[in-house]
Amino acid sequence: MMLRMRTRPVLVLLLLSLGLIGAQQQALMDYLERRLQAIEDRISLWHEQTSRYASELREVKQQMVSQLEALEKNKEGLRGELDGLGGRVGRVEREMDYLETQKEAQPCVDVDDKLVEQQVIVAREKNKLKYAKLSGCTDMLSGVKGMKVLKRLGDSKGMWTKDLSSGSGKVYVFNGTADDTLYQFSSVRDFTSSQGTALATPLKLPARWSGTGHALYKGHAYFMEEGADLRLLKVSLSDGSLVDSSVLPLPDLVSAYALTPDTAVDLAVDEEGLWAIYATQQDQRHLCLAKMDSDTLAITQMWTTPCPRENSEAAFVVCGTVYVVYNSRLPGRSRVQCVFDVGEMSAADEAPLAYFPRRQGSHSSLKYSPQERLLYAWDQGYQILYKLTMRSKLEV
């Protein structure tokens, strides 16, 4: 009984406490649920934030990229300006050099011989692939020293020269820019002492020439026929007979030199043989050079030179290097201001700024005589000889 009496409250207590535990459990569950919810909320907030950060980061990156690009462009612009400045400084330096030589001051140059040798060897290796030289000639122009006005004959435009490659000392005169009679003087003395063409033997050609770009080589005259599109004629100098002709496989041309509009193609002779200088309609800003085979009249190799056509007046070739002569529309002092070496042994920026002796004139032709190292010039009706000074390309 006692036991029974005592058991009841215990049971009640037990039940009560069980109820309590149940309530506590519920509360715990609720609490945990709330916590989980809060954590979930926070996680989704983080999610949002990270994706926002990521997209912001992407935007920033894009901005950086475009800014970098803009910077790169600015850099290029600056570099271009610097290059331009460099060129100008180079020109001023060359002009100063020229003034120095006028003062006869000997510049003191100290060059590392080994370095020079290496550069030359590299240039020669390239040379082998590019242009096979026919002569062993390595001279380059160092200046134009001395001038002799020999005569005043004929038109303001024309061409005169000798053909020493044939062993004859005769002087040939192509008067004007379109004619078919060549004047032949037996010597320079005859030429200078002749009253006009009195002492000359006229040589009638099979066609009229055009311009002043003719060349004499090994007993033949080479010239472009007037009115015939790019027809090159090869005529015997002994009797004026036509030996060969060829239409040059060149695209549409403009006059070779901006200041000498009558000459479409300028033919030149040097130690290597026959060359043609011209300019195409596609690239009117630069001069082109072609090596010709004087036997077949074929073009064997062509180059686009870096030499500008603007203000060019004439050009001549010495040892496989073309020297372009510039002047101004109002005839001033002619000067060699661009050089292009097909053997790549001398770079264009090594160009000697060689001034022609002081004279206000314009050259309608400048013909190089390899045997005499003279230029035969036609300057507004005056026939002039210029003496060239050379140095070896191997020394700097």
Can you give the binding site for ligand NAG, defined by CB under 6 A?
Answer: 153-155, 175-176, 196-197
Q: How far is the CB of 200 from ligand NAG (least distance, A)?
A: 9
Q: How far is the CB of 156 from ligand NAG (least distance, A)?
A: 8
H-helix or E-strand spanning residue 38: helix 2-102
Q: Is there a contact between 387 and 373 (Cβ–Cβ < 8 Å)?
A: yes
Pick the closer one to ligand NAG by CB: 143 or 176. Answer: 176
- Pairwise CA distance, residues 30 & 64, whole Å: 50
Pick the closer one to ligand NAG by CB: 174 or 340. Answer: 174
Residues 6+ apart with CB under 8 A from 117: none
Helices H, strands E: what count in the chain?
Answer: 3, 21
Q: How far is the CB of 260 from ligand NAG (least distance, A)?
A: 15
Pick the closer one to ligand NAG by CB: 181 or 389. Answer: 181
- Pairwise CA distance, residues 77 & 297, whole Å: 46
| Closest residue to ligand NAG in the complex (CB) | 176
Pick the closer one to ligand NAG by CB: 367 or 393. Answer: 367
- Pairwise CA distance, residues 75 & 256, whole Å: 37
Q: How far is the CB of 257 from ligand NAG (least distance, A)?
A: 19
* Per-position DSSP letters for 303-338, written without gaps between them: EEEEEE-TTEEEEEEETTEEEEEE--SS----EEEE
Q: How far is the CB of 139 from ligand NAG (least distance, A)?
A: 35
- Pairwise CA distance, residues 313 & 257, whole Å: 5
Pick the closer one to ligand NAG by CB: 28 or 178. Answer: 178
Q: How far is the CB of 176 from ligand NAG (least distance, A)?
A: 3
Pick the closer one to ligand NAG by CB: 154 or 370. Answer: 154
* Per-position DSSP letters for 233-275, written without gaps between them: EEEETTT--EEEEEE----SEE-SBTTBTT-SSEEEEETTEEE
Pick the closer one to ligand NAG by CB: 177 or 337. Answer: 177
In the block, residue with structure tokens 């472009």: 224
Residues 6+ apart with CB under 8 A from 242: 206, 207, 233, 234, 235
Q: Which amino acid is at 264?
A: A
Q: How far is the CB of 196 from ligand NAG (least distance, A)?
A: 5
201, with CB counted inside 10 A (0-12, 13-18, 19+), is exposed
Q: How far is the CB of 147 from ligand NAG (least distance, A)?
A: 23
- Pairwise CA distance, residues 64 & 261, whole Å: 54
Pick the closer one to ligand NAG by CB: 179 or 344. Answer: 179
